[in-house]
Copies of this chain bind each other. A is one copy, B any other.
């Protein structure tokens, strides 16, 4: 048979060591597509084409389409959890050293969060879609997202109890800033002049922190 069209990945080639494993390639490509266009707008054939394999291969590794979607969510949220729990722990340590270092620790936490999201904009796409379809990812929320945000809110509550800062509704404040950062990333995805936008938004985020958490009188 004539199969001269790109025989780079012939039929049947398991365990190649030089490249990444096929499931990883599939998950990354699918996560990007799902983040950009949503679950229903992305077809399995499109995912397969994006990583240069057949549809049956995607099904062989990932099972059903919903399983692939959940796999993308788990990977993305795990990465976010890994990147932020460290920064949250650092911020909690800074709280013990008084108001000055406490605010510095919170600023550092904000920087880590912005850095992470600007580096992986697809997280924002999946994160927002999670909010729009809450019943679809309830289980993943409980495993990844909610503990992380609870930890951040707990840091703020501890800071409030220690008299370092004051905000009666720390979870609303956290949510406000978190959504602002996601909005910023969404704007980056579609708009031009990214460098200036990033600089201005980062300055705004720190100004937001300084104003929303003034030193307690």
- Shortest Cβ distance from A73 into chain B, in angstroms? 15
Number of copies: 2
- Whether A201 contacts B180 by the Cβ 8 Å rule is no
- Docked pose: A8 CA to B134 CA in angstroms: 35
Interface flag for A3 (CB, 8 Å):
no
Distance in angstroms from A103 CB to nearest chain B CB is: 15
A186 in contact (CB, < 8 A)? yes
Binds B, one of A11-19, A60-68, A123-131, A148-156: A123-131
**Complex contacts, A128 vs chain B, CB 8 Å:** 128, 131-132
Query: How far is it, in angstroms, between the C-alpha of A187 and the C-alpha of B171 when the chains are bound?
Result: 12
Would B211 and A132 count as touching, CB distance under 8 A? no
Judge if A214 is at the interface, Cβ distance under 8 Å. yes
Name which residue of chain B comes closest to A190, CB basis. B134
Report the separation of the CA atoms of residues A129 and B134 in the bound assembly, to the nearest whole angstrom: 14
* A180-B179, A211-B214 given; A169·B200 CB < 8 A: yes
Binary interface profile of A, 15-41, with partner B (CB < 8 Å = 1, else 0)? 000000000000000000000011111
Chain B nearest Cβ from A140, distance in angstroms: 15
Report the Cα distance A41→B129, complex, angstroms: 13
List 22 A-B residue pairs with CB atoms under 8 Å apart, sorted by A's residue number.
Answer: A37-B133, A38-B40, A38-B132, A38-B133, A39-B41, A40-B40, A128-B131, A131-B183, A131-B186, A169-B200, A169-B204, A173-B204, A175-B183, A175-B187, A176-B177, A176-B204, A179-B179, A179-B180, A179-B182, A180-B180, A211-B212, A211-B214
